[in-house]
Amino acid sequence: MDYLITIWLEIHLKLNSNAKIFCKCKNEQDFSAKPNTHVCPVCTWQPGALPLLNQEVVTKAIHFSKALNSHLNKKSSFDRKNYFYPDLPMGFQITQFYHPIITEWKVSFFLNNYENQKTVTIHEAHLECDAAKMIHENGKSLVDFNRAWTPLLEIVTDPDFSSADEAVEFAKEIQRLAKWNDLWDADLEKWQMRVDVNISIRKNESDPLGTRVELKNINTFSAIKRAIEAESQRQWDLISKWESVAQETRRRADDENMSYMMRSKEDAVDYRYFPEPDMPVLELSEDDLKEFDTVEIDRPFDYISKCKEFWFNKEYINALLLDKSLFDFFFWIINEWFEPKTVAKWMVWPMKRALDFVQWDEITLLKSVSEEAKKQWVDAEKLFAERTTFLKSCWNLEWFLNKFQPLFKEFLQVEKEKKLVDNQLKIVFDVVLQSGKSINEVIKEKWFDAPAMDDNQLAGIVSEVLAANPAIVDQFKWWKESVIWFFVGQVMKKTQGKANPQAVNAELMKQLKG
């Protein structure tokens, strides 16, 4: 396709204040409450009701401004954006058009599996109130005002994106900034973050920007990518047939990979903006400005940059990015003088597997334990009881990591001193993660601390064990090689834990396949 894409984004980020932006009603987070229960005369715009700005919302905006290294305006103001729709009972939205609280700044983020980085300019970010929620079903339209006047921070970019991947990666960076700094979970599927995508195409970079088309309210990252690709193709198809692209707002139907016209695109004059007469100028106090200077902010870009200094691959970075707690845990550990790649290696595979394990339902857990019990020739019911007791106590990621800190440190010390080989380390780490037992306790249970035995002595004991279990030897010969662990256990018992399990395994394989 011989054209260039230009993309703008408008990201509506819901802020997690306790109350709504202009009244004291609860700022509901997931919209699971009964419709129209978090409402009052103010957010439903009853006669005589007046808005009152929530200071907590302003504080959240200050924190976000600091997160983006942006310019925070000491003075800003609110305006009325006039349009008529059932989700706006007053016939306008209170927003910041002329003087927003945050103005131009630049945001950097990574592309192509962290190989490249890009910097884009944010035109502004302004506070505004959300509209009510419209529900269309059974030929009727219903309105839920629980969402009305919940606080939004709308982030408007310059036309700096030239591909769908760039737009998606930027949106992910904004989401991480919000989650890591407790502004909100920014869960797109719960509508805590919504993205409007503006797209235009042109043939050459020297040409003026093409007609802009806006796609409204996209709420998954994959849908953003599909929407951009489909809309740019739609525009190119029109131009190829010598038809013009209309400036309009379109509704995206992702399941159909189609979009439909909602309305012709309004310009600012169509909204008849004018200053909100019931809201005075917002002038930040000295305490507010002090808050801006002193608040500590976590930026995902900085964390990723640090990981690149360690020469981490994309798998390591992706795993750590799953939750900020993982990054905090990682940096705490390496500050204890452990090598970063070694720490990441044991966090990314075994620990992530265990954290996934914590979230399994009981049926999946039972199936997994049953398979493990067969391999280890142990009582499945007893193993399941032990495992569920431990896992049920791991009720969230933060608790789990805090609980595991001393164990992980102890494990890394064993690894650092080369007391065990890699295969033994994997076994020990897996058991520790799933049981909460100490490192030394597991090493003793697995007989990994046993001294090496004389080769001739070990060969004789292995021969005795095999001779005593002919039926299981036949199972091995019929390709059931997992029974090798039964034999390892029997030999270790006979040697009272004095044999090296690796040497035992090697001698067993030699005699069974000899």
For residue range 219-247, what is the model confidence (pLDDT) as tens digits? 889 999 999 999 999 999 999 899 999 99
Q: Is 285 helix (H, G, I), strand (E, B) or coil?
A: coil
Say if residues 330 and 320 touch (Cβ distance below 8 Å).
yes
CA separation for the pair 470, 487 (Å, rounded)? 11
Condensed to tens digits (0 to 9), the pLDDT of residues 188-210 reads 777 789 999 999 999 888 889 99
Band (pLDDT 50/70/90 cuts) for residue 380 is low
Q: 3-state SS string over 182-227? A: CCCCCCHHHCCEEEEEEEEEECCCCCCCCCCEEEEEECCHHHHHHH
- Which pair of structure tokens corresponds to residue 99? 């003087």
10 Å Cβ neighbour count for 445? Answer: 14
Q: What pLDDT does residue 354 have? A: 59
What domains are defined for the chain?
A: 4-293 (no CATH), 310-445 (no CATH), 455-513 (1.10.10.410)
- Which pair of structure tokens corresponds to residue 169? 């990666």
- Predicted confidence (pLDDT) at residue 436 exceeds the cutoff of 80: no
β-strand pairing of 4-14 with 151-157: antiparallel
Inter-CA distances, 167 with 119, 172, 196, 211, 247, Å: 12, 9, 11, 19, 21
The C-alpha R_g of the chain, in whole angstroms, comes to 30
Place of tokens 């003087």: 99
Condensed to tens digits (0 to 9), the pLDDT of residues 276-318 reads 999 999 999 988 888 888 888 888 998 899 888 888 888 888 8
Condensed to tens digits (0 to 9), the pLDDT of residues 19-70 reads 999 999 999 866 678 999 999 999 999 999 999 999 999 999 999 888 887 8
Q: What percent of the chain has pLDDT over 90?
A: 34
- Predicted confidence (pLDDT) at residue 395 exceeds the cutoff of 50: no
- Give CA angle at 469 (467, 474), nearest 5°: 100
CA separation for the pair 490, 379 (Å, rounded)? 16
Condensed to tens digits (0 to 9), the pLDDT of residues 356-377 reads 555 555 555 566 656 666 555 5
Q: How far apart are the first and last CA of the chain?
A: 64
- Which pair of structure tokens corresponds to residue 34? 């009964």
Q: What pLDDT does residue 328 have? A: 83
